[in-house]
Amino acid sequence: MSTVETLPPKVWLAHKEKADQAFRTGHYSDAIDFYSDAVNACNSSSATDRAKLFANRALAYQREGRSAVELVVPINDAQGVRMPDLKQLDRRC
């Protein structure tokens, strides 16, 4: 994939659905990968959707037993996420 702008709208939903399925079946590592793909495919104008993806990925990290340090969203990933959405993410972590 070249750039996010060239992707069809909502292509990230396919990645999210795969991530949700992997999470439900206990395949947290796969879920993390799919949520990361969804975040990368979700354009920055969808701040609420991106915040939910970050929260879901953080929960998958937590279920996998990773340390709290790994649950922190890098500041570059959080660009475009509104503060109330970051609060939700913080509560999830």
Residue 4 counted as domain residue:
no
List the CATH number of the domain containing 74.
Answer: 1.25.40
pTM for the model stands at: 0.68
Instruction: DSSP letter for 3, please.
Output: -
Residue 16 counted as domain residue:
yes
List pLDDT tens digits, range 47-61: 788 888 888 998 898
Sign of the dihedral defined by the CA atoms of residues 91, 86, 35, 49, in that order: positive
Instruction: Write out the two tokens for 46.
Output: 């969808």
Residue 51 counted as domain residue:
yes
Instruction: Assess contact for 61 and 89: CB atoms under 8 A.
Output: no
Residue 32 has a CB neighbour count (10 Å cut-off) of 23
Number of independent structural domains in the chain: 1
User: Residue 5: what residue type?
Assistant: E
List pLDDT tens digits, range 17-74: 999 999 999 999 999 999 999 988 887 657 788 888 888 998 898 898 876 566 665 5
